[in-house]
Amino acid sequence: MQTPTPDPNHGGLLIQFLTYAWVVTVSMFGGLVSFIRRRNATTPKVPLKEQLGILFGELTISAFAGLITYWLCQYWGLHSAITAVFIAVSGHLGGKSIDAISRMYMGFIDKGNPTP
| Residue pLDDT tens, the chain, 116 long | 555 565 655 668 888 899 999 999 999 999 999 999 988 887 787 788 888 999 999 999 999 999 999 999 999 999 999 999 999 999 999 999 999 999 888 888 887 765 55
Q: Is residue 115 part of a domain?
A: no
Q: Is residue 45 part of a domain?
A: yes
Domain that holds residue 56: 24-110
Q: Is residue 52 part of a domain?
A: yes
Sign of the CA dihedral 26, 27, 30, 32?
Answer: negative
What pTM did the predictor assign? 0.78
Is-contact 107 43, C-beta < 8 A?
A: no
What is the number of domains present in the chain? 1
